[in-house]
Chains A and B, each alone.
Chain A
Amino acid sequence: MAGLKAIKTKIRSIQKTEKVTKAMEAVSAAKMRKAQVRALAGRPYARAAVAILSRLSGAQALSNHPLVRVRVTDPASATRALYIVLTSDKGLAGALNSAVLRATERDIRANGLQTSQVSVIAVGRKANDFFTARGYAVEVYHPNTDTLTSELVDEIVLEAANRFSTGVVDEVKIVYQQFITTFEQRPTMHTVFPLSLPELQQVVKDIIPARGAFSAPAAEDEPRAYEVEPSEGAVLDLVLPKLASIFVYHALLETQASEHSARMVSMKSATDKAGEMEHGLTLQFNKARQAAITREVSEITGGMEAMAG
């Protein structure tokens, strides 16, 4: 039987751990809700931008626009690809980050790309560490902080759009964790450039989670025809980068909501586990204490018997 003092110290340390994990759980829960609310705030913008693009989807100027034109018809023959990979800065969130990183590597291999043909824009320390360690060219790295700004989004989009439209890369993909419910996140990949309308419509639809407190009201009807001023080309030049920034902004929010919910869940199970351990150890402590008392009593009575005899 372990010493009483040793067990007591163990119980105390577990109690402290439990307090920490419980606090982290509460913090993550609050941050998760905030990220969900922010995702909803971006919806009118996304809706309008997609409506404009749908209207212009038949335009000649669209299919020839440098941000839309498909240069590589067979995805397996792309020669240079840029991946925008979003992870969290910190761990302690289950398989969240590794799932995204694995999905990226799988896609790189599936497209038969060599390490030298891939460049990466990393958001989040985990993504940066991963790709740097494996010898990929990490072109830009941003930490994934809680304060998201549209400047950060614009910067990423501008960087990616420049590389794509000048032909440095043939494809730009974004990889992140899609928030489905608090208990379920899924690594998701979208092609940002060349921009495609169906893919964008899917992303906009996904802004509202399918279930839970933030699930969706039905979509509004879009007018079929618009007047366009001054020209379709001028509108496209403006709207296409905005659409790409919806991709990036939305992916950032999804990543954050996923991060916080995954951490909340893993901290919850850590708290539960700590409670279980504490219970077991308390039982062990009581048994040890009882055994010590019994032993002492029997020693005393034994001594008394010996003296009486």
Chain B
Amino acid sequence: MKVIIAKVDETLFSGDAVSLTVPGSEGEMTVLGEHEPLVTTLRPGVAIIRSTQEGSSEFAVREVAIPGGLLEVRRDGATIIL
């Protein structure tokens, strides 16, 4: 699924990912591909993006600090707006 983390004036992360873990308002949650469409508010914390790497069975992990915001999940991806 395609994950985008964007501020109004810049995109902090944009790329394919296997899963996205965020500090949701109801507790930490992880979004995988084909997730039900969802909108939720986020608490300040760290968004963790896991993606496959070529030539390795390990996931590449990317962490992005977020000051709160909104998460929008579609079937084909997720967008966090800060």
Ranked nearest first, the 5 interchain pairs of A and B with the lowest CB-CB distance are A48-B79, A223-B37, A229-B40, A45-B6, A227-B38
- Interfacial residues, chain B to chain A (CB-CB below 8 A): 4, 6-11, 14, 24-26, 36-41, 69-70, 72-75, 79, 81
Name A's B-contacting residues (CB within 8 A).
38, 41-42, 44-45, 47-49, 51-52, 55-56, 148-150, 153, 222-223, 225-230, 234-235, 238-239, 242, 245-246, 249
Q: In the complex, A229 Cα to B31 Cα: how many Å?
A: 14
Q: A234-B41, A235-B40 are in contact. Are A245 and B26 (CB under 8 A)?
A: no
Nearest CB of chain B from residue A40's CB, rounded to whole Å: 10
**A150 adjacent to B39 (CB under 8 Å):** no
Given contact pairs A48-B79, A229-B25, A230-B25, A150 touches B37 in the complex (Cβ within 8 A):
no
Kindly provide the distance from the CB of B63 to the nearest chain A CB, expressed in whole angstroms.
Answer: 20
Residues of B within 8 A of A235 (CB): 39-41, 70
Q: Say whether A150 contacts B25, CB under 8 Å.
A: no
Q: Which residues of A contact B25 (CB under 8 A)?
A: 229-230, 234
Chain A hits for B24, CB < 8 A: 229
Question: From residue B69, how far is it (CB to closest CB) to chain A in Å?
Answer: 7
In the complex, what residues of A have CB within 8 A of residue B74's CB?
Answer: 51, 222-223
- Asked whether, in the complex, the Cβ of A44 is within 8 Å of the Cβ of B72, the reply is no
Among B4, B25, B81, chain A packs the most CB atoms within 10 A around the CB of B81
Complex CA gap A163/B62 in Å reads 40
Q: Min CB distance, A254 to chain B, in Å?
A: 14
Bound Cα distance from A235 to B40, whole angstroms: 7
| Interface pair A227/B41, CB less than 8 Å apart | no
By the criterion CB–CB under 8 Å, are B37 and A227 in contact?
yes
